[in-house]
Amino acid sequence: MNLPDGLLDTSWTLPAWFVFVLIAARALRRAPWRVLADSARLNAFLGLLVALLVLWHLQAGVKPGLTLHLLGATVLTLCFGWRLAFVGLSLVLFGVTLNGFAGWQVFAVNALLMAGVGVAASALLHRLVERLLPQHIFVYIFCNGFFAAALAVLAVGAVSCLVLALAGAYRGEYLGEEYLPYFLLLGFSEAWLSGMLTTLLVVYRPDLLTSFEDQRYLGQG
């Protein structure tokens, strides 16, 4: 997470830029911008981005590229869908990189790892929960808010370690012993924070969750 310049060579950064541009273009073109026409949702979107910008600066790590911080991908995905979530996390990454906490050359790699993998995992798990589990408010909160957030962080950690190992930046054994296990602890923290925020939104502001419908989860017309 938050990889610096010099850790990956151009054989990784150039293809990452190509993929990132394709995904970003699709997200920008098909994002439900009308959702942000509502002032409450716009304020919530901007507020979440500012909060995540602060959280992404609160990182811990001992070696270049081996840092840990909360993600927030699940909450953004539940509130605004995967396209706006991807755009939002890319903006957060832009702010983090602008402040020197990540590299510009590997911006696309960082975006694909944190925004791409994090949002994709959150969206996929949400669809699986909707398809396989009962449509109940507690299922929504615990599976989408808590467990999906933890699994999204673990997915980001696993893919990050795989990329670093394949690129030869660090030995796979070292990453598996000294870096990846900490994502279990980070996943617990992410689950607690995302689950708490999801619960508060469901109870007090369900209108801010585009993935939540009263008629579906509460049986209300």
How many domains are contained in the chain? Answer: 1
pLDDT mean over 170-174: 95
Domain assignment present for residue 91? The answer is yes
Predicted model pTM? 0.94
Domain assignment present for residue 2? The answer is no
Domain assignment present for residue 174? The answer is yes
Q: Helix 118-132 vs helix 148-166: angle between axes, to the nearest 10 degrees?
A: 140
Would you say residue 221 has pLDDT above 70?
no
Domain assignment present for residue 105? The answer is yes
At 21, the amino acid letter reads V
DSSP 169: S
**What is the residue range of 26's domain?**
10-217
pLDDT mean over 65-80: 95
In terms of phi and psi (left: phi > 0; alpha: psi -120 to 50; beta: otherwise), the region of 59 is beta
Q: What is the CATH number of the domain that holds 205?
A: 1.10.1760.20
So what's the pLDDT on residue 216?
75
Q: How many whole angstroms separate alpha carbon 162 and alpha carbon 88?
A: 25
Q: How many whole angstroms separate alpha carbon 131 and alpha carbon 94?
A: 35
89-127 pLDDT, tens digit per residue, is 999 999 999 999 999 999 999 999 999 999 999 999 999
